[in-house]
Structure 1
Amino acid sequence: MYMNVNGVNGLDSSRFWNHGLKSGLPGGEGRGASFEELLRNKSAEDGLNFSKHARRRLDERGIDIDSRLMEQLEHAVEGARKKGAKDVAVIGPENIFIVNVPNNTVVTTISQQDMREKIFTNIDSAVLM
């Protein structure tokens, strides 16, 4: 049974169908951007997020994020994204931010004075700010 929703509560069914997404079917040609591409672009548009852990570390270590630092971080992450980075250490003069690039999320932050071991694992790139 088919129900026409056009005009019901101001709905237009055409806005729900065929938005240029590639087919998820095997061998399907599809059109437009893939879901991964759309998600990556949406994340980039939204700016950086900070995980709960990263926000806690910022508070504990007294690290302030002003608009200038945020802009520098976003620029560094975008540069890493263009080079294909997945997990990056963004190294600034006072702090280091570990960022998961595909999720556009700062996962932790370390102040230079709190860094004892000076060893980072599970990153594939580093960006100097």
Structure 2
Amino acid sequence: MNQDWLFGVRGPLPVTGSAPRKTNPPSAGEPGAFQAELDKQLKPSHIVVSNHAKQRLEKRNIRLNDVDLQRIGLAINQVAAKGGKESLILFKNTAFVVNVPNRTIITAFDQQSMKDNVFTNIDSAMIL
């Protein structure tokens, strides 16, 4: 008699011919809950620009349009998904220090301002 064997903790165990049990998939919860969560993850929420960052953007002649803010918002979503709290986001030769939980741009550096600069108090970085 040909018998298949699996090795268990205490040695070989015979494999039975029984099929695995079917389990019901997890409940989807409320109707539309999945779509609402998906929309939340895919859409960037509002981004706050601190007064300090506004001054730096103006002083360094850095202009951000709606598409730029949307891409930064998506980057913030990705950093948040990985657990980042204070992040450096590099985008279009500009560095943004962002408070991720508050979705706030704290400051901004153009390429010239980044030279010889040390970025501290960040726990993550994202390059776009």
Do Structure 1 and Structure 2 share a fold, with TM-score over 0.5? yes
Which structure shows the higher strand fraction?
2
Matched, 1:79 2:78: yes
Per the normalisation by structure 2, the TM-score is: 0.63
The aligned counterpart of 2:95 is: 96
CA RMSD for the aligned pairs? 1.7
Rg larger for = 2
Deviations 1:74-112 (A, max 9, x none): 011000000000000001132010000011100000001
The aligned counterpart of 2:47 is: 48
The aligned counterpart of 1:115 is: 114
CA 1:81–1:55: 2 relative to 1, 3 Å: same
Does the CA contact (< 8 Å) of 2:90 and 2:127 recur in 1? Answer: yes
SS state at 2:125 partner: strand
What is the CA–CA distance in structure 2 between the aligned matches of 1:85 and 1:51, rounded to whole Å? 19
Which structure shows the higher helix fraction?
1
* 1:13-32 equivalence runs, <5 A: none
What is the CA–CA distance in structure 2 between the aligned matches of 1:116 and 1:100, rounded to whole Å? 22
What is the CA–CA distance in structure 2 between the aligned matches of 1:55 and 1:94, rounded to whole Å? 17
User: Gapped runs of 5+ residues in structure 1?
Assistant: 1-40
What is the CA–CA distance in structure 2 between the aligned matches of 1:87 and 1:105, rounded to whole Å? 10
Structure 1 residue runs of 4 or more that deviate by more than 3 Å after TM superposition = none
Does the CA contact (< 8 Å) of 2:44 and 2:74 recur in 1? Answer: no
Deviations 1:45-79 (A, max 9, x none): 74110000000101100000111111110011000
What is the CA–CA distance in structure 2 between the aligned matches of 1:68 and 1:103, rounded to whole Å? 20
SS state at 1:68 partner: helix
Q: How many residues align?
A: 87
User: Gapped runs of 5+ residues in structure 2?
Assistant: 1-39
